[in-house]
Amino acid sequence: MSYQALARKWRPGVFADVVGQEHVVQALSNALDRDQVHHAFLFSGTRGVGKTTLARIFAKAMNCEQGVSSTPCNECGTCHAVDSARFVDLIEVDAASRTRVDDTRELLDNVQYAPTTGRYKVYLIDEVHMLSGHSFNALLKTLEEPPPHVKFLLATTDPQKLPVTVLSRCLQFHLKALMPDQIRKQLQKILEAEQTEFDAEALELLARAADGSLRDGLSLLDQALAYGSGRLQGSLVRDMLGTIEDNVVESILRALADSDAPALLEVVAGMAESACDYTQALDGILSELYNLSLFQMSADVLRARQAERPWHADLAATISEADVQLYYQIGLIGKRDIALAPDPRTGFEMVLLRMLAFRPAGERDEQGSTRNEAPRRGGLAGTQGATVDRTAEIAADSANWGALVERMSLNGIVRELAMNLGLSKISEGTYFLCLAPSHEHLHDAGRIEVITAELRKIGGDASITLEIKDHDFETPARYLQRIREEKMQAAETAISRDPNVQALKEKLGATLVRDSIRVRE
């Protein structure tokens, strides 16, 4: 017998087996049990969360030979036909491959005819947002006045692309991305049923890598079992995914806590030997920074989620809450920049060095002693082994000021002012900022006071010294503009080098319209 992928073998056949979408299941079950089924439903959500699965169960429940209910029998011919994709009155359409209006009209021509064997004729249109404008117009006419024997089940990952005229005629259900714990429990249930040995670390890694998609989690599980020849071990899953071990994350966070740049770079050098994925490595650091923050706020919650590590308590006491938040913010921004670096390792190292360079001055407690000030060991300060005054060492850099702006609760014109300020240095709690004359209209003493107040929320005593003058500092606004331009240039280069585009240029004299290129933010 041929092997069946776990995602297909364990696809839910009844509502009770659907994971993590209780809000949708309850609404659909109530509609079926009361026999008050709307003529059009829209299921939206990211990939692999159960959109088409719910639609198929719904179609089966409406046509089960035992009657319309939320619990189809799974024994009759109709139920078996739906499960095996042989039910003639369930018409499944992949809109991504049938975008033409002629395809849609051909599909809808048979709407007027009664079902062949079932109670209802059900149209399941997947990725419906891919239909053309004319196709939507053709579909809309049927949605406005559907025959009583027809039901439409639409599924999409991008509901914003659907015309409001279509949205207004559907009952809309948004399916949530699953939590890692929900995916982990389902993977464990399946492995126990399959009588396959596993360890907890492997399940945790797969659940996180699934990124909210149970289907992706099952596909990764299949891949991991193949990679480990039927064994599911944490070390093998790490190798497959290119993730880093917990002790490596711990070493990185301890080096950050000690402001130890050489130790930090030594850890990265060790990571390079294992050919890790640096983007995933940064994800691992961000996850543990989140866990540290959660531990600092409520250790019991972290323990309840079974995510506590033996070293959390020590590091949570060593790294301040403000520093954890700053590291997390710099990591998020740096994750977007890794792809723009000369190579992934360089980008990853720069993110970690940025965390060291932009750590704010230590806060003072009620007794006047300084907390969270650690001597910097070589590298960044240029004075091996010497204690450096952290309040005077921060150089101008958009990511430093930009990270602080992202942490502030600023809106409207105050945020615009902050985004156009350039940071010269920070000395003894004073932020020396510059504003170009071209943006002088944004300046206002009251707005500066708002920014100062936000700075004090982040790092204790703070003040601002502002100069209005031309400067070369990269403001957060300039930084974002530069990133957009670099992405645009990279996209333009990639498109220009595409063989199909080159062929169009050579054979038809086509030209590339730069304004037509859209780059994701």
Q: What is the CATH number of the domain that holds 61?
A: 3.40.50.300
- The more confidently predicted of residues 196 and 141 is 196
Domain of residue 77 covers 6-174
Same domain, 460 and 508: no
pLDDT score for 79: 92
pLDDT score for 99: 61
- Each residue of 224-255: pLDDT tens digit? 998 888 888 888 888 788 777 778 888 999 99
- The more confidently predicted of residues 199 and 274 is 199
Judge whether residue 363 has pLDDT over 60. Answer: no
Same domain, 318 and 220: no
User: What percent of the chain stands above pLDDT 70?
Assistant: 88
- The reply to whether 386 falls in a domain is no
pLDDT score for 253: 92
- The reply to whether 109 falls in a domain is yes
Same domain, 58 and 170: yes
Cα of 493 vs its chain's centroid, Å: 27
pLDDT score for 383: 31
pLDDT score for 399: 47
Q: What is the C-alpha separation between 63 and 79, in angstroms, rounded?
A: 8
Helix (H, G, I), strand (E, B) or coil at 483: helix
- Each residue of 340-359: pLDDT tens digit? 888 888 999 999 998 988 76
pLDDT score for 483: 80
Of 223, 241, 259, at which residue does a domain stop?
Answer: 241
User: What percent of the chain stands above pLDDT 90?
Assistant: 21
- For residue 289, give the CATH number of its domain: 1.20.272.10
- The reply to whether 201 falls in a domain is yes
Same domain, 425 and 329: no
Same domain, 30 and 137: yes
Same domain, 304 and 322: yes
Same domain, 233 and 262: no
Same domain, 289 and 339: yes
Judge whether residue 291 has pLDDT over 80. Answer: yes
- Each residue of 43-87: pLDDT tens digit? 998 888 999 999 999 999 999 999 999 999 999 999 999 988 889
- The reply to whether 372 falls in a domain is no
DSSP string, 151-169: EEEEEES-GGGS-HHHHTT
Judge whether residue 191 has pLDDT over 70. Answer: yes
- The reply to whether 57 falls in a domain is yes
- Each residue of 293-319: pLDDT tens digit? 888 888 887 777 667 778 888 888 888
Half-sphere exposure of 242 (CA within 13 A, CB side): 10
pLDDT score for 298: 81
- The reply to whether 231 falls in a domain is yes
Residue 519: band (very low, low, confident or very high) from pLDDT cuts 50, 70, 90: low
Q: What is the pTM of this model?
A: 0.58
CB neighbours of residue 468 within 10 Å:
13
Residues 6+ apart with CB under 8 A from 142: 108, 111, 150, 152
- For residue 451, give the CATH number of its domain: 3.30.300.150
| Number of domains making up the chain | 5
- The reply to whether 111 falls in a domain is yes
Stretch 93-121: mean pLDDT: 78
pLDDT score for 18: 92
Of 130, 153, 174, at which residue does a domain stop?
Answer: 174
Q: What is the mean pLDDT of the chain?
A: 82
- For residue 231, give the CATH number of its domain: 1.10.8.60
pLDDT score for 390: 35
Q: What is the C-alpha separation between 448 and 434, in angstroms, rounded?
A: 12
Same domain, 169 and 270: no
- Each residue of 258-273: pLDDT tens digit? 888 999 999 988 888 7
Helix (H, G, I), strand (E, B) or coil at 400: helix
Same domain, 161 and 72: yes
List Cα–Cα distances, 151 to 38, 90, 91, 143, 480, in angstroms: 8, 10, 10, 9, 47
- The reply to whether 370 falls in a domain is no
Q: What is the C-alpha separation between 196 and 123, in angstroms, rounded?
A: 38
Same domain, 432 and 303: no
Given a contact cutoff of 8 angstroms between Cβ atoms, the answer to whether 221 and 6 are in contact is: yes
pLDDT score for 366: 41
The neighbouring-strand residues paired with 41 are 153, 171
Same domain, 230 and 157: no
pLDDT score for 142: 84
Judge whether residue 321 has pLDDT over 90. Answer: no
Of 208, 225, 241, at which residue does a domain stop?
Answer: 241
